[in-house]
Amino acid sequence: MLRPVDRVGFEVRAGEILGLVGESGAGKSMCGSAIIGLIDRPGRISGGEIALDGERIDNLPEDRLRRIRGKRIAMVFQDPLTSLNPLMTVGQQLIQTIRTHLPVSSGEARDRAIALLEEVGIPAAATRIDAYPHQFSGGMRQRVVISLALAAEPELIIADEPTTALDVSVQAQIMALLKKLCRERGTAVILITHDMGVIAESTDRVAVLYAGRIAEIGPTRNVLSTPSHPYTKGLMASTPSTTGTMHALSQIPGSMPNLRAIPKGCAFNPRCEKAFSVCFKDIPILEPVDGSEVACWLYDPAVNPETKEISGVSE
Amino acid sequence: MAVGFISFAMFKFMGDPVENMLGQEATLADKAELEERLGLNDPIIVQYFRFLERALSGDFGVSYRAGLPVGELILDRLPATLELALLSGVIAISLGFVLGVYTAIRRDGIAAHFIMTASLVGVSLPTFLIGVFLIWLFAVNLGWLPAFGRGETRSLFGVDLAILTWNGFKSMILPAVTLGLYQMTLIMRLVRSEMLEVLRTDYIRFARARGLSQKTVNFGHAMKNTLVPVITVTGLQFGSIVAFAIITESVFQWPGVGLLFINAVSFVDIPVMSAYLLLVAVIFVTINLIVDLLYFTIDPRLSVSKN
């Protein structure tokens, strides 16, 4: 059995934006699909639990899960150009979604749809509602996608790389929109991305994923300014900065392991300069370090005699 | 035009009709006179345009064998072929579509696997074999349906149709199924693969992530998106149903234009053959036109914005 996501645990509070960051194949999107219950066969959730507002949802029958999807948990996908059905008008898709979850007439649903489009910043929403997706630009389409996700006022939005397919100026607008809506409505957001810039600007907390496991999780400022896990340190060192002197970007040697060949112990061990004996034997678990939680044996004084020295350096 | 030229060229290169018409005891003088009367001494290009001009006004000449105008002969037979083609087209499209969607949605089910395996038979067996097998089973052994002929017909707006009488309808079932079976399996496999393709797209994932019901997603969102390629192929297939009707009509002795054509071939009745060729070409072109027009009603991306 392959484990694209392994022992990942986190929580998101209402009104909070949690970032999930990691390389391609780190299991970010799989986390999102698992939460909303849309893992494609033959994948499945083999263990653990997912709870929404204290109520476990991962073991619900498909029919009840469907009622949660869109109504309480919504999802925004990466590519707005392919996320909308090309043969239906924007309004038809909105009205259909609204009426699936709310007991309103089609007239009311239409009014609501127009209000939603206005809210996400579509000009002349009342006429644009009858346009087809191909008549919108990429950025506008992503706004439509967000309005569809918001249609039934969900408590949680999972945004899977919502800006990756957009050009940079539009990216900032879309992120600002997501942040604004999240603040205004008190919606929790899980923002999946590999863009450290987006993480730094938009998220309250961040979880760094590596080979399907959480390497480090904590308040964004904390994780980015004082990374503890060697992988996070490597990531930060390889992110270009506009301040300070110019120097060649450092790289983490090697690449993320194939799912079929995740090394024993800590998955990061082949690429880690600091790896020592325990790292090759046992999987580290998350422990509090400097206000974050880090899964690394370096911070376990019981196995690493140098721990004091290392934390002394970072202080 | 191109098909018209080929049909016309058949006159020139496939035997000498004058000899057939006059018989063996004709003199050279008789022959010359007839050639003059038929306009065969004019330059080829003149003859060709004369042929086109007459074809456009529905005059395809006179059948060598029956001695009747070809236009009349074909018009007489056309309803039989068209009603057969239509019925088998309807069977092929409706059944092919339903089965294709079903096997795509339940792609791991036992029934779906069975249907897919059975469809291989439909694709690979030649039409005449299926026809003969169906006759053997339903007409010879079970005796439920007639083995050949068109049964009784009833006139509607001056057109004799078999489908309007019970007896005629029963006679139509076997040939229609034979004719449509191949097309049905083809449409089914196409719908299935298109549907599987569409079900993997982002907008289907997004539709499901919005909590739309399985039914809405499958039939409201996925199915409509499979239509464009399916209609293209279905349109072409309908053309070939008319063309393939030759085989089915001769197996079931169905009195349509296909049978007329087969008989014409064995008697080198060239006016009939060329008129049939033109007719099939016209049907193909018409269907393609209809298909292109259908695209616009299905896919909004194709229509130019009115604003």
User: To probe the interface with A, which of B194, B203, B219 has the most A CB atoms within 10 Å?
Assistant: B203
Please count the residue pairs, one from chain A and one from chain B, whose beta carbons lie less than 8 angstroms apart. Answer: 76
Residue B179 lies in a domain: yes
Give φ, ψ of A218 to 5 degrees. Answer: 175, 180
My answer on whether B14 and B128 are in the same domain is no
Asked if A75's CB is within 8 angstroms of B209's CB, the reply is yes
Whether residue B61 is contained in a domain is answered as no
C-alpha closest to that of A144 among A130, A164, A161: A130
- State whether B300 and A132 contact (CB < 8 Å): yes
Q: Which of B202, B209, B221 sits opposite A36 (nearest CB)?
A: B209
Return the structure tokens found at B126: 């030649």
Average pLDDT, integer, range A16-44: 81
Q: DSSP for A107-141?
A: HHHHHHHHHHHHHTT-TTHHHHTTS-GGGS-HHHH
Is B14 a residue whose pLDDT tops 60?
no
Task: Let me know if residue B45 belongs to a domain.
Answer: yes
Contacts of B300 in chain A (CB under 8 A): 86-87, 89, 132, 134
User: Domain range for residue B120?
Assistant: 73-302
With a cut of 80, say whether residue A83 has pLDDT above it: yes
Beta strands in A69-212 (DSSP E): 73-76, 156-160, 188-193, 205-210
Q: Mark yes or no for CB contact B209/A69 under 8 Å.
A: yes
- B260 domain-assigned: yes
The whole-angstrom separation of Cα A308 and Cα B175 is: 89
In whole angstroms, what is the distance from residue A126 CA to residue B223 CA? 29
Q: CB of B61 within 8 A of CB of B54?
A: yes
Same domain as B21, residue B159: no
Answer whether residue B232 is part of any domain. yes
Of A66, A82, A84, the CB nearest to B211: A66
Considering only CB atoms, which chain A residues are within 8 Å of B299? 86-87
Residues B149 and B25 in one domain: no
pLDDT at position B165 over 80:
no
Same domain, B51 and B77: no
Do both B77 and B170 map to the same domain?
Answer: yes
Whether A36 and B212 lie within 8 Å, measured CB to CB: no
Q: Please identify which residue in the block is written with the tokens 């078999």.
A: B162
Give, as one character, the DSSP assignment of residue A46: -
Q: Is A253 exposed, middle or buried (0-12, 13-18, 19+ CB in 10 A)?
A: exposed
Give the pLDDT confidence of A243-257 residue by residue, as tens digits: 666 667 777 777 777
- B288 falls within a domain: yes
Mean of all residue pLDDT scores within chain A: 82
Look at A101-110, A187-196, B116-125, B218-227 and tell me which has the smallest mean pLDDT.
Answer: B116-125
* Token pair for A243: 């301040």
**Domain contains B67:** no
Which member of B211, B298, B305 has the closest CB to residue A69?
Answer: B211
Mean pLDDT of A144-150: 88
Chain A residues whose CB is inside 8 A of the B304 CB are none
Q: Is A69 in contact with B299 (Cβ distance < 8 A)? A: no
* 3-state DSSP assignment of residue A158: strand
Residue B215 sits in the same domain as residue B188: yes
Which CATH number does the domain housing residue B232 bear?
1.10.3720.10
Pair B50, B79 in one domain: no
- pTM of the predicted model, to two decimals? 0.72
Question: What tokens does B18 get?
Answer: 């004058």
Q: Which residue has the higher pLDDT, B65 or A147?
A: A147
Confidence category of residue A306, pLDDT binned at 50, 70, 90 = low
- At B212, give phi and psi (nearest 5°): -65, 150
How many residues can be counted in chain B?
307
Total tally of structural domains belonging to chain B: 2
Last residue of a domain, one of B30, B56, B82: B56
CA distance B248 to B267: 20
Q: Which residues of B148-178 are buried (b: 16+ CB within 10 A; e: fewer)?
A: eebbebeeeeeebbbbebeebbebbbbbbbb
b/e burial code for range B25-55 (CB count within 10 A of at least 16 → b): eeeeeebeeeeeeeebeeeeeebbeebbeeb
Beta bridge pairs of residue A18: A190, A205
Q: Do B202 and A82 touch (CB under 8 A)?
A: yes
What are the two backbone dihedrals, phi and then psi, of residue B210, each rounded to the nearest 5 degrees? -85, 0
What residues in B contact A148, CB-CB < 8 Å? 206, 210
Kindly determine whether residue B210 and residue A134, on different chains, have CB atoms separated by under 8 Å: no
Average pLDDT in the A146-154 region?
86
User: Which residue do the tokens 């923002």 mark?
Assistant: A191
Taking CA–CA distances from A70, the nearest residue in chain B reads B210
Minimal CA separation from B202 to chain A, in Å? 5
Cα end-to-end span (Å), chain B: 38
How many Cβ atoms from other residues are within 10 Å of residue A221's Cβ?
Answer: 14
Please state, in angstroms and rounded to a whole number, the distance separating the CA atoms of residues A136 and B247: 51
pLDDT at B284 exceeding the cut of 60: yes
Q: What are phi and psi of B286, to 5 degrees?
A: -60, -45
Composition of chain A by helix, strand, coil, percent to 5: 40, 15, 45
CA atoms within 13 A on the CB side of B254: 35
What is the DSSP track for B153-191?
Answer: -EEETTEEESTTSHHHHHHHHHHHHHHHHHHHHHHHHHH
User: Do B86 and B30 reside in the same domain of the chain?
Assistant: no
Q: Are residues B39 and B119 in the same domain?
A: no
Given a cut of 60, whether residue A73 has pLDDT beyond it is: yes
Q: Which residue has the higher pLDDT, A48 or B87?
A: B87
Write out chain B residues lying below 8 Å of A152, CB-based: 211
Are A148 and B206 inside 8 Å of each other by CB? yes
Considering Cα of A117, then A118, then A124, then A126, what sign does the dihedral take? positive
Q: What is the mean pLDDT of residues B254-283?
A: 77
Express as a percent the part of chain A with pLDDT over 70: 94
Which SS3 state, helix, strand or coil, does residue B255 take? coil
Residue A211 has a pLDDT of 84
CB contact under 8 A, B212 and A100: yes
Judge whether A86 is closer than 8 Å to chain B, CB to CB: yes
How far, in Å, CA of A249 to CA of A239, rounded? 7
Inter-axis angle of helices A106-119 and A138-150, nearest 10 = 130
Cβ-Cβ contacts under 8 Å, B305 against chain A: 135
CA distance B189 to B92: 12
Range A7-34 burial, b when 16+ CB lie within 10 A, else e: ebebebeeebbbbbbbbebbbbbbbbbb
Residue B301 DSSP symbol: G
Residue B47 sits in the same domain as residue B178: no
- In the sheet that holds A292-294, the strands lie side by side as A73-76, A156-160, A188-193, A17-21, A205-210, A213-219, A292-294, A287-289
Range B255-280 average pLDDT:
76
**Cβ-contact A256, A26 below 8 angstroms:** yes
B68 in any annotated domain: no
Q: What domains can be seen in chain A, in order of their start residue?
A: 17-203 (3.40.50.300), 227-314 (no CATH)
Q: Which of B198, B200, B206, B296 to mutate to test the interface with A (most CBs of A within 10 A)?
A: B206
> Does A96 lie at the interface with B, CB-CB under 8 angstroms?
yes
Q: Using DSSP, state whether A21 is helix, strand or coil.
A: strand
DSSP state of B302: G
Q: Which chain A residues are closer than 8 Å to B213 by Cβ?
A: 66, 100
Angle at A181 between CA A178 and CA A186, to 5 degrees: 120
To 10 degrees, the CA torsion angle through A1, A5, A80, B209? 80
Neighboring chain B residues of A96 at a CB cutoff of 8 Å: 212, 216, 220
Band (A197; pLDDT cuts 50, 70, 90): confident
A154 touches chain B (CB under 8 A): no
Residue A197 CA from chain centroid, whole number = 14
Chain B closest CA to A258's CA: distance in Å?
24
Alpha helices in chain B (DSSP H): 2-13, 17-22, 28-38, 44-56, 70-105, 110-124, 127-134, 166-199, 202-209, 214-215, 223-252, 257-266, 270-298
